[in-house]
């Protein structure tokens, strides 16, 4: 889904100034342990299914909504994998809007659905082995993608 009405109204008032963006990301694995990545239609960059939280949403509700919107998959967040933020999680969109993400990462179980573009934002999907992940736009620690039952990831900035 494109920018929500909340963020659109905010951007009308503040322009492209950097804002905090509470967001979620979902890690989905196939039976081989490969990680689902999505290719953004506009930027042509591979990333993870993710998005901003909406007002009134819990992080778990947000990842369920975002996964359905971006991938067509119905998921259940199984485990909290980590929370990420800081300078290394800043992003500038092609339209100049700047954000500093605070990202809640979940390990997700697929309950159903069909993997197909839903909202025009995503162009393609692919499962990648952890060792062959494409360059991701944000510096997630490699331990986030472990196929074993990970405990909460601790992330220390370098």
Which distant-in-sequence residues (6+ apart) come within 8 Å of 58 by Cβ?
Answer: none
Name the CATH superfamily, with its identifier, for domain 21-132: Nucleoside Triphosphate Pyrophosphohydrolase (3.90.79.10)
Distances (CA, A) of 139 to 4, 53, 121: 25, 20, 22
Query: Residue 67, class by beta-carbon neighbours within 10 Å (0-12 exposed, 13-18 middle, 19+ buried)?
Result: buried
Comparing 29-33, 56-60, 114-118, 132-136, which segment has the lowest mean pLDDT? 114-118
Which pairing describes strands 35-40 and 46-47: parallel, antiparallel, or unpaired? Answer: antiparallel
Q: What is the pLDDT of residue 158?
A: 38
89: pLDDT strictly greater than 90 = yes
Q: Which of 100, 123, 156, 158 is catalytic?
A: 123
- The model's pTM is 0.88
Per-residue confidence at 67, pLDDT binned at 50, 70, 90? very high
Place of tokens 């196939």: 30
Which pairing describes strands 98-113 and 19-28: parallel, antiparallel, or unpaired? Answer: parallel
Average pLDDT of span 16-38: 96
Q: What is the pLDDT of residue 148?
A: 54
Query: How far is 140 from 155, CA to CA, in rounded Å?
Result: 9
pLDDT in tens, 93-147: 889 999 999 999 999 999 999 998 777 889 999 999 999 999 999 999 988 987 6
Per-residue confidence at 149, pLDDT binned at 50, 70, 90? low
Per-residue confidence at 156, pLDDT binned at 50, 70, 90? very low
- The domain spans of the chain are 21-132
Per-residue confidence at 1, pLDDT binned at 50, 70, 90? low
Known catalytic residue: 123? yes
């Amino acid at each position: 889904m494109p920018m929500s009405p909340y963020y659109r109204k905010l951007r009308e008032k503040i322009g492209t100034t950097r804002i905090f963006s509470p967001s979620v990301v979902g890690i989905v694995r196939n039976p081989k342990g490969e990680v689902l990545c999505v290719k953004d239609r506009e930027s042509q960059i591979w990333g993870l299914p993710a998005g901003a939280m909406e007002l009134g949403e819990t992080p778990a509700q947000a990842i369920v909504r975002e996964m359905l919107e971006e991938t067509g998959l119905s998921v259940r967040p199984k485990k909290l994998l980590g929370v990420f933020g800081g300078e290394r999680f800043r992003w500038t969109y092609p339209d100049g809007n700047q954000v500093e993400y605070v990202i809640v990462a979940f390990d997700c179980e697929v309950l159903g659905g069909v993997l197909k573009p839903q909202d025009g934002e995503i162009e393609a999907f692919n499962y990648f082995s952890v060792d062959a992940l494409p360059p991701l736009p944000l510096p997630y620690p490699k331990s986030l993608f472990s196929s074993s039952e990970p405990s909460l990831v601790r992330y220390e900035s370098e």
